[in-house]
Amino acid sequence: MVTLFLLVALLVWLPLAFAILSKRPLVVLLIWLVLGPVISNVVKWPGANPFFWTGPESDKEGGYLTLPSTVTLEELLEPTRLVIVTLLALIILQAIVARKEPQPLDRTEKAMVFFSILLVFSSVIFSNRMLFGLRITIDVFLVPFLGYYLGRRFIRSEKQYWMLNRAMVYLGLLVIVTCAAERLVNTQLFYRLKGPFMQGAQRGSSILHIVVVVIFFAVLLDAITTRRDRSHLPAAKKEIRTLIILSMPLVILLTWSRGNWLGLVVALWAFILLGRRLMAPSQRMAIAGLTFIILPLIILGVLRMESSAVVSQRIGNVENVTGRLATWKVVADRAMENPVLGIGLNDTRDVLGRASSQSNVTVYSTVHNSYLTLFTELGLVGVLSYLAILISLGHSGWVLYRRGKGPRERWRGITVLAVLLGYQLPGLFANTVQMFGFGHLLVFVFLGGLVGATLRPENLLAPGLALVRTRTGRLMQTPPRVREVRFS
């Protein structure tokens, strides 16, 4: 009855939804970026707290690559997928009605199309679980790619980019409030914060990390450009921005995941390294001093809480290391048997299941390395095509950084590179790339909006002028009209 009701409701409200979306599709997308996780929790876990997990910590649905192979009708009506597909259908219908030529795909979108076709091919031809492989293809990769497509086309002006920043602020406040309440309810020292993402499952902490990385750099970028760029409209007041910037690293710390910590630290280092010439010397010294002071204080504070537990469970867990190495060896050996096209999407679970029953060494049920998983399941063609997407996105950021006319464009290019680093580095230690979750959509919508609003001819220097500036040593220097960019 519930399924029938959902189908009838969908048919009744779909015309009205199209009428609303045709007026303000960007507003609908941004509202969903803020409220989508909570609404999805209401649908998936009716009667449970939709904002944070309050029960015992357990992997409610099994490992993120060992979920049941069946796909139910309720899963086909997944809310985020419906919203994104509806927005895409709206663009297509408007183009047909207006008889407009479709906007050509950029290099990144072409790489996304090729990778998506490869995923479908692997699911249908090689995978032992075709339906589940197609579900991974759609929800983990295709829907976020469509989010990039929508973000790049909906966000074409500074006003629309401000709206995106505003959504990041609202989402950041929601994450701070829910994580604070979640931490008060769950008092275990090593409880992993999840926020309103993947309730009851430990992988929710990885989804939370992806969301927090995007929010952190979006708000940090807004804070940097607000003070000196008078044409830039801040997304929030100074106090709210400061609260979000200071809270996000603490949230990542309390996910108790080494990959999450490394992703944020390396991304922040890259952000500061590339942007050092756009800061005043006093700011660079202040950042360096705070880093050298705060990091030791954090380490000493954590060790002071319960030093033996921290060292044995999160830092010096030798069994965890040996188990991962054994898992990687098993998967790598299997990958070399089909190095070109792989063994099939989601089939590493079978390889590890057989290995764990035949070996005396601990072998985990998941690979704990996204890129090794891609290589094993999709082969060299798959992992290279996925890297092509990341390289193309990184190139867009690099072009903004090297050829941007002013500090605003160059900081945005740096932000693209930092977000990609923070998003991808945890994949070296967990299967974050293959996880179901809201974080992937947020990353690609944000990057699509940032590229769509900024990577335009009027915001770039001509290649010849950029080369001259490079040769004269002025590329990394502060532009003459901007002597100092202060955090505000």
In the 3-class helix/strand/coil scheme, how is 80-121 assigned residue by residue? HHHHHHHHHHHHHHHHHHHCCCCCCCCHHHHHHHHHHHHHHH
Give CA–CA dist 326/320, Å, rounded. Answer: 10
The answer to whether position 389 is within a domain reads: yes
Dig out the tokens for 152 from the structure: 């790049």
Predicted local distance difference test score (pLDDT) of residue 361: 66
Mean pLDDT, contiguous 10-residue spans, the chain (488 residues):
54 60 82 88 78 62 55 72 86 80 87 95 89 89 95 91 94 93 83 78 80 94 82 86 91 86 89 84 69 65 55 58 82 89 87 74 81 93 95 95 90 95 91 88 95 90 63 47 42
- CA trace torsion 225, 226, 228, 233 (10° rounding): 110
Dig out the tokens for 407 from the structure: 């500090």
Give CA–CA dist 423/404, Å, rounded. Answer: 24
- CA trace torsion 24, 28, 31, 33 (10° rounding): -130
Buried (b) or exposed (e) across 352-372, using 16+ Cβ within 10 A?
A: beebbeeeeeebbbbbbbbbb
Residue 455 has a CB neighbour count (10 Å cut-off) of 21
Q: Is the pTM of this model over 0.75?
A: yes
Q: Which domain holds residue 437?
A: 2-471
Q: Which of 203, 248, 243, 238 is nearest to 429 (CA)?
A: 203
Predicted local distance difference test score (pLDDT) of residue 18: 62
Predicted local distance difference test score (pLDDT) of residue 303: 59
Dig out the tokens for 343 from the structure: 């063994």
Which H helix or E strand runs over 456? none
Dig out the tokens for 82 from the structure: 């419906």
Predicted local distance difference test score (pLDDT) of residue 346: 84
The answer to whether position 483 is within a domain reads: no
The answer to whether position 86 is within a domain reads: yes
Give CA–CA dist 163/165, Å, rounded. Answer: 5
Q: Is 404 helix (H, G, I), strand (E, B) or coil?
A: strand
Dig out the tokens for 201 from the structure: 């499952």
Which residue is associated with the tokens 């997308």? 29
Predicted local distance difference test score (pLDDT) of residue 330: 87
Predicted local distance difference test score (pLDDT) of residue 376: 93
Predicted local distance difference test score (pLDDT) of residue 67: 61
Give CA–CA dist 381/300, Å, rounded. Answer: 46
Predicted local distance difference test score (pLDDT) of residue 363: 78
Q: Is 234 helix (H, G, I), strand (E, B) or coil?
A: coil
Predicted local distance difference test score (pLDDT) of residue 176: 94
The answer to whether position 53 is within a domain reads: yes
Predicted local distance difference test score (pLDDT) of residue 475: 45
- CA trace torsion 236, 241, 244, 247 (10° rounding): -160
Q: Is 460 helix (H, G, I), strand (E, B) or coil?
A: strand
Instruction: For residue 284, give every residue at least 6 positions away whose Cβ sits within 8 Å of its Cβ, in sequence order, or none.
Output: 276
Predicted local distance difference test score (pLDDT) of residue 257: 83
Predicted local distance difference test score (pLDDT) of residue 10: 57
Dig out the tokens for 32 from the structure: 């969903």
The answer to whether position 56 is within a domain reads: yes
Tell me how many domains the chain contains: 1
What's the Cα-to-Cα distance from 279 to each of 106, 271, 383, rounded to whole Å?
32, 12, 37
The answer to whether position 330 is within a domain reads: yes
Q: Is 196 helix (H, G, I), strand (E, B) or coil?
A: coil
Give CA–CA dist 93/364, Å, rounded. Answer: 47
The answer to whether position 488 is within a domain reads: no
Angle at 216 between CA 209 and CA 451, to 5 degrees: 100
The answer to whether position 487 is within a domain reads: no
